[in-house]
Amino acid sequence: MARGWESKDVEAQVEETQTPRQKAPTGTKSAEQISREQQRKDLQLSRTRIMNELVSATHPNHRKSLEAALAHLEKKLSELG
């Protein structure tokens, strides 16, 4: 008995979900690019942490220290581009 196109389509969908997908390379990145991306992520995480601390900081000296650290991180981020 011949199978219709609908059952073949369903079979193809089942096979597709069962086979592991391999990511197509989106382009190889140089070691320098990878390093810069990691640096940027690290700086952004630090910036987020400092922003969160700044919201709850009450002591003026602590706030000043956090603001200086935030300025430094923003400068580094702008240097990375």
pLDDT of the residue at 23: 59
pLDDT digits (tens, 9 = 90+) for 20-42: 666 555 678 888 999 999 999 99
pLDDT averaged over the chain? 83
pLDDT digits (tens, 9 = 90+) for 12-24: 776 776 766 665 5
Q: Label each residue of 12-80 as H, E or C.
A: HHHHHHHCCCCCCCCCCCCHHHHHHHHHHHHHHHHHHHHHHHHHHCCCHHHHHHHHHHHHHHHHHHHHH
Domain chopping of the chain, boundaries:
31-81
Q: Which residue has the higher pLDDT, 78 or 16?
A: 78
The answer on pLDDT for 60 being more than 70 is: yes
